[in-house]
Structure 1
């Protein structure tokens, strides 16, 4: 008689959590920024992450076994983990840890080790946890899980974590340099569902009750790029024969009933890879895979398992911009990871530039110019792109928190566009390869994922060109306003002068006079040339230089007024 109420309770359907619930704290919402000394005192060697999805209860259960090496003496491990995921047990080096050595301040898990570690010593901590994870309000711009259904009512689930960080799903070091050297991921899902994730598939285990466990391994994954995807997926697969001699497996996981669209998107994989390998360098994770999975949200650069939710949209450019943009992040975001969110433009500026560069590679300069101009009016210039200190992701991405927001995409791409012209194509490619691979002669096997910074990037430009372009980066990265080119014509002379917020700005300018072009070096920020009174003059006819435009400012002001 006692069991009946329990059985009835178990059979009662659980109501799906609403978007934005359960709420998360400011600590969980924060990714990056200044870190506790204990987090900087360890090297993250390995993460073995076992997840089980319980969709009927909207729960995620996890067991995380994390390996660390002490860089400096350390007595505590401070991990980031959302408080919505209670911890039930912790073991250190195989021995259960007493409850008194485990504390859960807001959004963190603090493990006081049985004994302090000396520099060079290793430890392993096993954490058992689980709960109802935060449901995203509007993934991927707002992070969390997405519980969805396919057209025939089957589970379709995904995670995103770029903004709020890895601690939404697993105990981690939630800052850009907190990548584990190796991650092994196990995802147990109900019968009939697949669970594509990061890295290389080690195997699929079928459990006695029909559930399956999908086992993956990824080397040095970007922490926010570790992703769970669950659904009744079908697959289209193939192999790309790289221009560097290796063969790269490719897979697209898509929903049933979409085979024709899926095959058309998959047909873009190899040509897009060839573009990136020709203009940047080897695909960084060729020994694992190029993976893409259809998701119930727009998209995200999840390392080797990029999320795609663009509904197979068509565009005048003739390729899927979202697939191409997320794939760009395998180079700019996953292989090259910004060492601090303050350097976020390295991800998104380059990632955005790659779409017009692909258009140029496919169709020529006209396509490139059209795509670049399409983004020009989106540059806001409200705050600098770089602050020169450690900041959180939201302090960069959210204008409401003082960040440059979308400027890291559009202004970042335009700055790189101007740099590409200023130093020339060969130098720009060498700088890019140094930033991505740490070398100009990358080949499969001679590089590993790396961290980069704005200061390092400027150093690469000096190294390649032999010149100091501090004035260029000071103006575009550390100032909000754009440089203005002041033009005057008098007594048969055209005079040009740069008015830049950072002071000296000796940016060369191309001038077309009656169809003939010349480039003024603008030494000292000024230049002039003789021009007949009736000559037709066009300044910077190919828009090489990102500079102030009163027309765009008036357009932006008009748009703002029109919305009121």
Structure 2
């Protein structure tokens, strides 16, 4: 990453890059985009129940080989099943009950003609044998693939990052976010001097006769495909137990051996993160699988129960404050942001990439809530208001459905500020906290749509928020509160807004708090003093201005 450009430029690039594929928005989509991004007929008839992924990773020649046994329940009696694996990786064979199956490749999609009749309600499996040299990430984690690096002692240092581009860059799977396995086993064979860290809990380590070791991990909760990870290095580990809302949570840390001292100091922020987020969002969603923070050769990712870390043991975002408020230097951005995704991305997961804001808006907002918990409400407001300087309003936050296309990188700062607006509309911080905790409970371990989240927030805040969501998620204009003063009368309305926009707003009239309920037509407030000063609460992401009477 080049650091010679300005802070604002770095931040904008960071948010652009942190959302995969945003820099290459398509106006024309291909058949491959549809095969990747839609629930095809060859996906719809079966429900994924379990993966058993067994791979051998060879840093010497940058290859991965192995098998994935895909267990599924038959929802409808169909015979053609879609599995995804991207070149240059190749499927070598697919079997069911030991019998080879016919396979037809169409780009990244592989269609399996099953020879055995698929009975509705039955639980079946296919075993996929594959291998090759997976795509190398040119700019991890913002471009998908495997990172093959070496640490300062010359040892291999390997990790995957594939949000957006897809887990099928390196392992065969049902590569669509709508369906998750209920559980997963991950077995990774590496050179014996190295260690693999993957999701869930380590069940055993097997010493093999060929100078390798196999690390067997097990995940007992649902997991999305891009959250599955391999992190391989000359790791040392330390751990602690966090006393949380559901009892003791095992927290384990894996870092390069030369960084152990720095890690023990920097990772003291993990219990602080857990305390803040359990307060605001409810219990950590994966107590059964534990929490891990794992050093990798890139900035970091929200791999479920194995959050990856590469922020160089600095506070801020690589030592910079994204907000310009000063509060961004009070915490390690990667620890707080990526761990926040355990609630929004790993617990509550979007069904379609167009709804990626559900992950990134809530998690960027979680930074604000972390500041709120530890430094106070005023500091939190200054932080979230500060990140507005990175909003570009270049395109809608919601992307294009069914083609694996997210929307604008504004889903980070603008989405967080939209949620900050909603906190103001709630007018009760404890109610707002209960709403956030309720989201975690209502949609626990589920894949969701924007509509479900919108409906939930409208219902529990007690206001029809559809125009608000349309404005901030589907439009690029900033709402403007226009007002006129005529003696003791204040006239006001919204402009630069979608049809029906009616968001209430808090203003201060001569310093006195007043709530207005503007619409797109003029409304009046009578009985104010002549030449009253009008100031909009800065917590609302809007503009305002006095206009001349016509």
The superposition leaves residues 236-258 of structure 1 with CA deviations (integer Å, 9 ceiling, x where unpaired) of: 2111011x241111011111211
Q: What pairs up with 1:258-407 in 2 under 5 angstroms?
A: 258-315=259-316, 316-317=326-327, 318-386=330-398, 390-393=401-404, 395-396=405-406, 403-404=407-408, 406-407=409-410
2:243 to 227, 241, 244: 241
Query: 3-state SS of the aligned residue for 2:205?
Result: strand
1:225 to 212, 224, 227: 227
Over aligned residue pairs, what C-alpha RMSD do you find?
A: 2.2
**Residues 276, 369 of structure 2: 8 Å contact kept:** no
Query: Following the alignment from structure 2 to structure 1, what is the Cα–Cα distance between the partners of residues 206 and 352?
Result: 38
Query: 3-state SS of the aligned residue for 1:377?
Result: helix
Query: 3-state SS of the aligned residue for 1:117?
Result: coil
Query: 3-state SS of the aligned residue for 2:420?
Result: helix
How far apart are residue 290 of structure 1 and its match?
0.8
**Residues 197, 227 of structure 1: 8 Å contact kept:** yes
Query: 3-state SS of the aligned residue for 1:517?
Result: strand
Query: 3-state SS of the aligned residue for 2:289?
Result: coil
The superposition leaves residues 276-322 of structure 1 with CA deviations (integer Å, 9 ceiling, x where unpaired) of: 11111000001111111111111110001111111012344321011
Query: Following the alignment from structure 2 to structure 1, what is the Cα–Cα distance between the partners of residues 291 and 123?
Result: 33
For 2:540, the equivalent position in structure 1 comes to 545
Query: Following the alignment from structure 1 to structure 2, what is the Cα–Cα distance between the partners of residues 251 and 55?
Result: 25
**Residues 390, 413 of structure 2: 8 Å contact kept:** yes
Quick one: structure 1 residues 220 and 143, their matched pair in 2 at CA, closer, same or farther if it must change by over 3 Å?
Answer: same
Quick one: structure 1 residues 289 and 207, their matched pair in 2 at CA, closer, same or farther if it must change by over 3 Å?
Answer: same
Query: Following the alignment from structure 2 to structure 1, what is the Cα–Cα distance between the partners of residues 246 and 305?
Result: 20
Query: 3-state SS of the aligned residue for 1:159?
Result: strand
Query: 3-state SS of the aligned residue for 2:164?
Result: coil
Query: Following the alignment from structure 2 to structure 1, what is the Cα–Cα distance between the partners of residues 161 and 212?
Result: 24
**Residues 41, 73 of structure 1: 8 Å contact kept:** yes
How far apart are residue 392 of structure 1 and its match?
3.6
Quick one: structure 1 residues 380 and 423, their matched pair in 2 at CA, closer, same or farther if it must change by over 3 Å?
Answer: same
Query: Following the alignment from structure 1 to structure 2, what is the Cα–Cα distance between the partners of residues 423 and 537?
Result: 22
**Residues 434, 460 of structure 1: 8 Å contact kept:** no
Query: Following the alignment from structure 1 to structure 2, what is the Cα–Cα distance between the partners of residues 108 and 51?
Result: 20
For 1:186, the equivalent position in structure 2 comes to 187
Query: Following the alignment from structure 2 to structure 1, what is the Cα–Cα distance between the partners of residues 183 and 504?
Result: 46
Query: Following the alignment from structure 1 to structure 2, what is the Cα–Cα distance between the partners of residues 314 and 434?
Result: 31
Is 1:412 matched with 2:412?
A: no
How far apart are residue 28 of structure 1 and its match?
7.5
Structure 1: give runs of 5+ residues left out of the alignment.
1-24, 397-402, 440-447, 551-564
Quick one: structure 1 residues 96 and 245, their matched pair in 2 at CA, closer, same or farther if it must change by over 3 Å?
Answer: closer
Quick one: structure 1 residues 27 and 158, their matched pair in 2 at CA, closer, same or farther if it must change by over 3 Å?
Answer: farther
Is 1:491 matched with 2:490?
A: no
Query: Following the alignment from structure 2 to structure 1, what is the Cα–Cα distance between the partners of residues 526 and 368?
Result: 33
For 1:554, the equivalent position in structure 2 comes to none
1:33 to 37, 45, 54: 37
The superposition leaves residues 203-255 of structure 1 with CA deviations (integer Å, 9 ceiling, x where unpaired) of: 1111123311111111211110101110001112111011x241111011111
How far apart are residue 27 of structure 1 and its match?
7.5
For 2:525, the equivalent position in structure 1 comes to 528
Structure 1 residues 117-126 or 527-536, which shifts more?
527-536
Query: 3-state SS of the aligned residue for 2:360?
Result: helix
Is 1:82 matched with 2:86?
A: yes
Query: Following the alignment from structure 2 to structure 1, what is the Cα–Cα distance between the partners of residues 283 and 274?
Result: 9
Query: 3-state SS of the aligned residue for 1:139?
Result: coil
For 1:431, the equivalent position in structure 2 comes to 435
Structure 1 residues 152-161 or 102-111, which shifts more?
102-111
Query: Following the alignment from structure 2 to structure 1, what is the Cα–Cα distance between the partners of residues 149 and 435?
Result: 43
**Residues 481, 544 of structure 2: 8 Å contact kept:** no
Structure 1 residues 418-427 or 152-161, which shifts more?
418-427
Query: Following the alignment from structure 1 to structure 2, what is the Cα–Cα distance between the partners of residues 116 and 50?
Result: 27
**Residues 511, 519 of structure 1: 8 Å contact kept:** yes
Query: Following the alignment from structure 2 to structure 1, what is the Cα–Cα distance between the partners of residues 528 and 483?
Result: 13
**Residues 487, 496 of structure 1: 8 Å contact kept:** yes
How far apart are residue 353 of structure 1 and its match?
0.4
For 1:3, the equivalent position in structure 2 comes to none
Structure 1 residues 276-285 or 311-320, which shifts more?
311-320
Q: What pairs up with 1:120-269 in 2 under 5 angstroms?
A: 120-218=121-219, 219-242=221-244, 244-269=245-270
The superposition leaves residues 128-187 of structure 1 with CA deviations (integer Å, 9 ceiling, x where unpaired) of: 111000001111111100000000100000001101111111111111113111110000
For 1:48, the equivalent position in structure 2 comes to 52
Quick one: structure 1 residues 529 and 383, their matched pair in 2 at CA, closer, same or farther if it must change by over 3 Å?
Answer: farther
The superposition leaves residues 3-25 of structure 1 with CA deviations (integer Å, 9 ceiling, x where unpaired) of: xxxxxxxxxxxxxxxxxxxxxx9
Is 1:459 matched with 2:462?
A: no
**Residues 51, 183 of structure 2: 8 Å contact kept:** yes
Query: Following the alignment from structure 1 to structure 2, what is the Cα–Cα distance between the partners of residues 215 and 239?
Result: 22
Query: Following the alignment from structure 2 to structure 1, what is the Cα–Cα distance between the partners of residues 506 and 370?
Result: 25
For 2:107, the equivalent position in structure 1 comes to 106
The superposition leaves residues 51-110 of structure 1 with CA deviations (integer Å, 9 ceiling, x where unpaired) of: 1111111111111111111111110111001131222232102x2315xx1222211222
How far apart are residue 453 of structure 1 and its match?
1.6
Query: Following the alignment from structure 1 to structure 2, what is the Cα–Cα distance between the partners of residues 158 and 165?
Result: 14
Query: Following the alignment from structure 1 to structure 2, what is the Cα–Cα distance between the partners of residues 459 and 515?
Result: 35
How far apart are residue 487 of structure 1 and its match?
2.2
TM-score, with normalisation over the residues of structure 1? 0.85
TM-score, with normalisation over the residues of structure 2? 0.87
**Residues 197, 294 of structure 2: 8 Å contact kept:** yes
How far apart are residue 378 of structure 1 and its match?
1.7
